[in-house]
Structure 1
């Protein structure tokens, strides 16, 4: 742990870290206490038919938009998904135990400095972003008052669709004013082609097409799924040049500008409005606010091709087919970025990002980043006051003065032969830069070293005292 001089303190050490999970990533409970969605439901369905029954219980009323659900359809988010979650063919993940453990290890006060934000992932990301703003403000206020200090801010860790909530929170609701950094893990900034599959009933191929058809009317009631529709992808129209394998059709148009068979126009417009609201403000955000972690080198669907009466989904767009299997590479970074040089890519699928050891190590390294000046700052001067001679019958007064009243100082005692004597003795601060300790030593010559802890570089000062018997 490192601290600096008051004007150069590592303020991020005081920050509140907030975890925002992805779609399916929160356990949901019914008003009667039964679970509507948890790890046993996600993993325990032995057949897709059972899985469909589970999703049917999650259905929302149509046309909900950005508001809360009626009381009869409300579910209570309880915690992060503790194990694997899967929506066959569309979304899957390893849960959040590894991510949470990594964050807890890098925080000074993990019980109070880590805020978990489970949410009802069926609802609009706009609505959940407003809930995040309210809850994060209250939690940050409490943390500042009870331990973090007045300069503490937020650091957001957003997984998958949680990154869309984070973006709306930062750039539309003004959350950037209280946020030092935001980290996105596998976030589909510009959506995913798989959302088109879900909302057109083409998620899985025969013989599982019946599952897609049963899933579609339920998914159409979830505003969040519409907001995952790709804003980047181009749809190839019938009669394009170059045949089915050509990814450079002159007649390709954005999703919002064409009719895709089976895809609700209302869903497309809802998605476009959501992404437009973010894009109008995102480009003006500070360059170092958002840090991207993403998977790569996996075959990923990039383009929708209209081939009546069917739709086809191709894995190649402008010569690239990379991604994490769900999110294309060019959708894994903010759309206003000039390129993705500042993103960090890992050879992983979307499923395993939250448990990827290298990614988690790099993430926690950024959260606990050290400013270069912290390593270059010279040692803090300490002034030692110690009598040269003392009687074995007396208490030896040890006094140190420093330019800060907030240090942690320990006195280390050594005998004349260099061996340590007892445990380090903490010095008492007086609140003005003075520190004291009372020593009781047997006769002999003593080497006393006073050293700062929790600073880099450590500061120290030492002296000798001779203790004589009467």
Structure 2
């Protein structure tokens, strides 16, 4: 029996913070650190300063930082919570390609504008396809056609892929399919929350201050800002403009550049070839916001539109609000640019980071890579269980893990694991509290943990949580 593999060339494009970065002057790895050094970097006063964009870099003089590979260890960042490594995705792709040479792992400096990385991806993808077409094993297609490209892109990687295909239209006929996993095509309100820092919190949290200071310098973060109507102002809902971005803590110039780039992408109107969007659902997700005295108030609801693309209102003239959910980072309706000929959307109840790691998502990716017909969907998991955990927690202090979408804890198992070894450390008991189902969790030490909720289906829900002690420089 022949092995079910594809003879096409595959390009894996990670999301923001999904590539390890190195300081070219010192040779020091500055992103992609293991848990201990990573935690210390977030808690030191200058720990993330090396990643801030310099004046030279803002002028387009790059090279101070270079990407060395896809993220290979679990990472953590405030607001983004856990960032899972891409090893499982890479191996899943290798399992269904004719040769390891058919796969390109495109690491990139995620701090830079999506437009810059899109141009670099276009060049890398063309070289990769040319090299693979020269490989003997690329010419074994059952239909004897020439090898083409398949892009597999997680999160911001989907935006980079779209930018690459817009930058180099000649790539489009050579692209058989594009798979996106949780890509914020319409942006994410969480990017605005990050730029706002911890202004809305009573107590300062050092890692969040570091994340805000870093993000305010990064074009990559500004490229993730929401482009849909998401700012509630009384009885109206407006788009997030650069002036408001500056008021909440972002950079006005970067916001203006990002908006102009996104407008150009929209006006190009080029759908991704044979696009397969995998969208996370059923997780508590920030979908809109209000701004009060420069403080972002996240809101877990979106606003419905009518057939004229205007706000739907009830009989009192109040905008209709609905909790549409998402993957915990990207609101579900922002994770695909719409459906059309050759486009498809599949929904899975997974958190954002797990979309590039979970077995259901990986089966979907493998099915697209090996598909014969243009419309194949993934094997879907059962259930609509959502998981809500904090970014970080102090060791020895109890916190509440909340489940949504369930009314009975029967058949649901919760466990806490060491994120690096996946060794199970505890199995908390689920219980009722204030009409919610959840569990009290106490972390034993300041390391990175993975919380896993198994519903009995084939898609456990996972999320990373960092154990962080009191600010180390206080």
CA–CA distance in structure 2, aligned partners of residues 195 and 317 of structure 1:
16
CA drift of 1:212 comes to: 3.2
CA–CA distance in structure 2, aligned partners of residues 15 and 95 of structure 1:
24
CA drift of 1:15 comes to: 1.0
- 1:107 is aligned to 2:101: no
Aligned to 1:370, what secondary structure does the other structure show?
coil
Aligned to 1:156: 151
1:255/1:268 contact within 8 Å kept: no
Aligned to 2:276, what secondary structure does the other structure show?
strand
1:280-306 alpha-carbon deviations (Å, 9 max, x no partner)? 223x436x5211012110111111202
Aligned to 2:254: 267
CA–CA distance in structure 2, aligned partners of residues 222 and 325 of structure 1:
22
1:42/1:85 contact within 8 Å kept: no
1:39/1:82 contact within 8 Å kept: no
CA drift of 1:339 comes to: 12
Structure number, greater radius of gyration? 1
CA–CA distance in structure 2, aligned partners of residues 25 and 217 of structure 1:
19
Change in Cα spacing, 1:35 to 1:309, as seen in structure 2 (3 Å) is closer
CA drift of 1:165 comes to: 0.2
CA–CA distance in structure 2, aligned partners of residues 208 and 329 of structure 1:
31
CA–CA distance in structure 2, aligned partners of residues 339 and 329 of structure 1:
20
Change in Cα spacing, 1:211 to 1:112, as seen in structure 2 (3 Å) is closer
Aligned to 2:239: 254
1:150-188 alpha-carbon deviations (Å, 9 max, x no partner)? 711110000111111001112343232321111101111
CA–CA distance in structure 2, aligned partners of residues 313 and 66 of structure 1:
33
Change in Cα spacing, 1:88 to 1:204, as seen in structure 2 (3 Å) is farther
Aligned to 1:78: 68
CA drift of 1:204 comes to: 7.7
Aligned to 2:260, what secondary structure does the other structure show?
helix
Aligned to 1:13: 6
CA drift of 1:331 comes to: 0.7
Aligned to 1:168: 163
CA drift of 1:207 comes to: 2.6
Aligned to 1:141: 130
2:77/2:211 contact within 8 Å kept: no
Give me the CA root mean square deviation: 2.8
TM-score by length of 2: 0.67
Q: How does 1:403-418 map to 2 (within 5 A)?
A: none
1:315-358 alpha-carbon deviations (Å, 9 max, x no partner)? 11131231001000011101x44799931111111121111101
- 1:299 is aligned to 2:284: yes
State which of 280, 288, 295 in structure 2 corresponds to 1:310: 295
Change in Cα spacing, 1:84 to 1:43, as seen in structure 2 (3 Å) is farther
Deviates more, 1:14-23 or 1:170-179: 170-179
Aligned to 2:193, what secondary structure does the other structure show?
helix
- 1:55 is aligned to 2:40: no
Change in Cα spacing, 1:88 to 1:165, as seen in structure 2 (3 Å) is same
Q: How does 1:452-463 map to 2 (within 5 A)?
A: none
- 1:348 is aligned to 2:338: no
CA drift of 1:122 comes to: 0.8
TM-score by length of 1: 0.68
Change in Cα spacing, 1:138 to 1:309, as seen in structure 2 (3 Å) is closer
Between the two proteins, the alignment pairs up a number of residues equal to 346
Aligned to 1:45, what secondary structure does the other structure show?
helix
CA–CA distance in structure 1, aligned partners of residues 105 and 242 of structure 2:
38
1:231-256 alpha-carbon deviations (Å, 9 max, x no partner)? 1142123xx1xxxxxxxx33x21112
